Amino acid sequence: MRPTMFGEKEVKEIERIPLSNNTVARRIDEMAEWAEDELIRRVVCSKYYTLQLDESTDVQGLSQLLVFVRYIWQNDVHEDILFCKPISRGTAEEIFNAIDSYIKEKGLQWKNCFGICTDGARAMCGKNSSVVTRVLKQSPCALWTHCSLHREALVSKALPNDFKTVLNTAVKIVNYIKTKPLQACLFQKLCEEMGSLHTSLLLHMEVRWLSRGKVLTRLVELRNEVTIYLEGKTEYIESLLDKEFILKLTYLADIFSKLNELNLYLQGSNESDIFAVHDRIQAFMKKLMLWKSCIEDGKYDCFETLETFIIENQLQPKTNILSAISTHLSLLKNNFDAYFGEEMKKLDSLNWICNPFHDRLPSSMSTKASEELIDLSEDTSLKNSFNRKQLTKFWLSVAGNYPCLFDEAIKVLLPFSTSYLCEAGFSAMISVKTKYRNKLDVSNSLRLKVTKIEVDAKAVMTKNRKQIHPSH
């Protein structure tokens, strides 16, 4: 048995079981149920939990609702898969009812849910009867977060028409070679003969966050090979011979690569707090204005691929191209403002959470919490041990002495800032439910593949040993 759904330890335990019809499947279900029961026990004990949810289709074309939970256990923050369930229509009502029935069935309390993170789909966050609206009715203190990854992707989609044309043409060039096996094979042989660093292009996928940057960068790197290969085959070669087209292409490769770097940080932001996420986005917005100023001053070193092409070909970019780049950089900055600015302003009044040792007291804070903040800010030992990079752990460490402050801080720090765990979960689902196993109920298998709770396989199997017949 391959360890694709659980660890080596669990695999070895299963392999010791004498096989009979459905025995392995039954053991998988039992271990998944044990992991689920243990998770529910922990979440019930936690006074606070937050949710992250998304829905997507599996290989069978069936819609799956995936929900992750973040909670406090043994004075630390943990996150895990809460459940995965098939849904038929994907409406707000159906999604909420699936979550609500699970919450109630497992004995969880809506009043302890202080956050929900989703994408921007209407069913998830529409104004009147969305999933978020229904959750907030159950838990009015909950904080809704629009996935930062989703917002960043929306920002990066905004392109002036001339750059959009370049992008679309680049995608068509890649698809002309990549989507036809014979063409891809012949192109690979050409690259090998030319001693190229890479031997294939990357296929553009709109649903993948990093697709654009990687696709364009690879095309730029192999543009000479592509030009040779396309000679006499298609009119796309005219674009690759046009220096203005390549100037725009190299800029797009550079700017999308920079957006990719931000995206990669956001993917790992489950380990960062919302203030750190905002800091990184704010810094990127300032860089956009710096790059705009550099371009307008004729300095191109902020975009390495663009600068290299300009130097190698001894070019002086025309005013219309520089103006288009400047306009695009301004557009990106304005879009970041539109998607993140309001949230940043709301959290400005909560800066005491990430710096509790300054002198100012928030006007909206209760008297009791203000008294605690004064005491905490004057605690020299805490001030000396304070680590901004471990903000949540700091507040967990002072929860006993400063309960009011902790209660307000954790409600801001605990919610997810992205739905990346769900996206990673859907990726894991691909290896669990394949076209050869498309009738599989994915819930238990997926839980064992992605859970962070170590399953005590020996205890589970000892408990259920009476169901195993030695004669098998």
Residue 269 pLDDT? 60
What is d(CA 131, CA 115) in angstroms, rounded to the nearest whole number? 13
Residue 144: φ, ψ to 5°: -90, 135
Q: What would you report as the CA-atom Rg of the chain, rounded to the nearest whole angstrom?
A: 26
Q: Quick check: 389 and 120 in contact, CB under 8 A?
A: no
Q: Quick check: 154 and 123 in contact, CB under 8 A?
A: no
Q: Quick check: 354 and 388 in contact, CB under 8 A?
A: yes
Residue 208 pLDDT? 46
Phi/psi-derived region of residue 52, left when phi > 0, alpha when psi is between -120 and 50, beta in every other case: beta
**In tens digits, what is the pLDDT along the chain, a chain of 472 residues?**
444 455 565 556 555 555 554 666 777 888 899 999 999 999 999 989 999 999 988 777 788 999 999 999 999 999 999 999 999 888 999 999 999 999 999 999 999 999 999 998 888 988 888 999 999 999 999 999 999 999 998 998 888 999 999 998 988 888 877 766 766 676 677 666 656 666 666 654 444 444 677 778 888 888 888 888 778 777 888 888 899 999 999 999 999 999 989 988 888 766 678 999 999 999 999 999 999 999 999 999 999 999 999 999 999 999 999 999 999 999 999 999 999 999 999 998 899 999 999 878 888 889 999 999 999 999 999 999 898 888 999 999 999 999 999 999 999 999 999 999 998 898 888 888 766 565 567 888 899 999 999 987 777 777 666 554 444 4
Residue 310 pLDDT? 95
- Token digits for 218? 């690879």
Closest alpha carbon to 246 in 143, 317, 194, 324: 317
Residue 271 pLDDT? 66
Residue 471 pLDDT? 46
Largest CA distance in the chain: 83
- Token digits for 214? 């990687």
Residue 182 pLDDT? 61
- Token digits for 381? 């030992």
Q: Quick check: 145 and 340 in contact, CB under 8 A?
A: no
Element (H, E) at 306: helix 304-312
Residue 276: φ, ψ to 5°: -65, -35
What is d(CA 321, CA 353) in angstroms, rounded to the nearest whole number? 45
Residue 231 pLDDT? 80
What is d(CA 421, CA 428) in angstroms, rounded to the nearest whole number? 10
Residue 21 pLDDT? 45
What is d(CA 175, CA 225) in angstroms, rounded to the nearest whole number? 15
Q: Quick check: 197 and 221 in contact, CB under 8 A?
A: yes
- Token digits for 86? 């098939």
Burial of 306 (0-12, 13-18, 19+ CB in 10 A): buried
pTM of the entire predicted model: 0.85
Residue 472 pLDDT? 45
Element (H, E) at 146: strand 143-146
DSSP letter, residue 228? H
